[in-house]
Chain A
Amino acid sequence: DVKVTQSSRYLVKRTGEKVFLECVQDMDHENMFWYRQDPGLGLRLIYFSYDVKMKEKGDIPEGYSVSREKKERFSLILESASTNQTSMYLCASRLSGTGGFGGNTIYFGEGSWLTVV
């Protein structure tokens, strides 16, 4: 089974702190993603990475950065946390591919609940 592991399930941070959310996948997937989930808005893409050291902005990248130094690890960084970044963060991974079930399916971690006070 594919395993996507997020290092922290629950975090409470202070405004202005630098926050790292870590994600590791064990299936050699090329693509990795960070989503943010808020009530009524569904999941919104923050950043994604096609492969090692390759990253692209998603729909809501402001206030975030990412790092992918190794294929299995994708980190989300909040440079200076703010209260409006209180949310649930979901990491995901996927085989690269252009179609079919195998090339489409995304596998998610369990989520990280971040509260910024």
Chain B
Amino acid sequence: AQKITQTQPGMFVQEKEAVTLDCTYDTSDPSYGLFWYKQPSSGEMIFLIYQGSYDQQNATEGRYSLNFQKARKSANLVISASQLGDSAMYFCAMREVRGMRFGAGTRLTVKP
């Protein structure tokens, strides 16, 4: 069975600094997709970034980048130049036939 592990229940970062949110995964499928979602206090899930297992380069979307280390089965999210609006829950997830397998999430708090 696939598994997603986020070991950081909470993280703090100073405004304008970079922060890395950890995610490790376990799957026996050679082809897979990894996602990061942001969930503000309002509850909606906002898609941030996607990495395919065969993608040659690490994904980037604006201030978000994904540090994909396939051999180590890790897919860490890096947020550069943190903003107060980045304070939220962040979920790492992997595609499954039955939708998406999620990690437990990391609550990021950005300090002014």
Contact = CB atoms under 8 A, between A and B. Distances in A.
A43 B98 contact: no
B99 A94 contact: yes
What secondary structure prevails in chain A residues at the interface with B? strand
Interface stretch (B42-50, B64-72, B78-86): B42-50
A81 B79 CA distance: 40
Interface residues of A, number: 28
Contact of A58 (B42, B43, B45, B98): B98
Given A48-B99, A56-B98, A111-B44, A105 B35 contact: yes
Q: Which of A44, A108, A109 has the most CB of B within 10 A?
A: A108
Interface of B: 4, 6, 9, 31, 33, 35, 37, 42-45, 47, 50, 52, 91, 93, 95, 98-100, 102-105
